[in-house]
Amino acid sequence: MKIKNRKKEYDYGECEICNTSMEEKYIKQDFWIRGELIVVEDVPAGVCPQCGEKVVKADVGRRITRLLENTERIAKAPKISVPTIKFDKEKTEV
């Protein structure tokens, strides 16, 4: 399997939280829409190696919005089962 060579062209600057230089990475970003979890993969983002803060460029944010508005594409996307457990506030044992 060959991995695509992706250009890193954008300078994300420093993290707004801890002032560490951001690094470009390709991340998975999750969104809850009407009670449904949707994961967008391969999102180019600036990620802080110190605290984990993530930022995306405005044009990337607009493209994600268009993806999330495309109900037909979402309906055709592969589905996965995600385990869910309920937090029991009465018990403190793990």
What is the pLDDT averaged over residues 76-82? Answer: 92
Give the CATH architecture of domain 23-76. Answer: Roll (3.10)
> What are the residues facing 30 on neighbouring strands?
39
The answer to whether 18 touches 51, Cβ cutoff 8 Å, is yes
Distance, CA of 28 to CA of 42 (rounded, Å): 6
pTM of the shown model: 0.76
- Phi-psi domain of 17 (left: phi exceeds 0; alpha: psi -120 through 50; beta: other): alpha
Distance, CA of 71 to CA of 92 (rounded, Å): 41
pLDDT in tens, 17-76: 999 999 999 999 999 998 899 999 999 999 999 999 999 999 999 999 999 999 999 999
The answer to whether 5 touches 25, Cβ cutoff 8 Å, is no
